[in-house]
Amino acid sequence: MMAMAAIAGCRADPADPVAAGMGHAQMVASFGERYIWDCTMQSNRGAAPWKFVLRRVGEAGRQDVVLREAGQPAARRMEQVVRDEAARIYRMRDGGQILVASDGEARGKGQGGSLGAEYTTGSCRKGGQPA
């Protein structure tokens, strides 16, 4: 499993309780309040909503922000997190980005083919981790 996480470009988080076959609501419940945002984004092409959790993983001195989806074996590390007044912009490796305002309003944008380009509007519910 560690090799799979390394191949995916992610660090394994031993505290990550996500199990195969777990649905989104179960995944969020398994985290308790140990996440930044629980998000649902709407597709501009009519696809099913994209549900994911943004959370901090790692040790206190070196934490990464990762995007975790139910049914996916590994988390995806955010390329960069940028502060934009009261919002945060989470940049993904596929060229997309998700802007989450402090009130939970979410907007996606990005290059064609990126998740941010397809999932452009949504909302997020705040967890217990700092943004």
Instruction: Give the model confidence (pLDDT) of 45-75 as tens digits.
Output: 999 999 999 999 998 778 899 999 998 888 9
Query: Is the distance from CB of 31 to CB of 53 less than 8 angstroms?
Result: yes
* Segments making up each domain of the chain, as ranges: 2-13+34-126
Query: Taking 70 as the threshold, does the pLDDT of residue 7 lie above it?
Result: no
Interatomic CA distance for residues 14 and 46, integer angstroms: 36
**110 falls in which pLDDT band (50, 70, 90)?**
very high
The pTM of this model reads 0.84
Q: Give 23-80 as a DSSP string.
A: -HHHHHHHHTT--SEEEEEEETTSPPPEEEEEEEEEETTEEEEEEE-TT-SS-EE-SE
Instruction: Return mean pLDDT, the chain.
Output: 86
What are residue 42's DSSP bridge partners?
A: 121
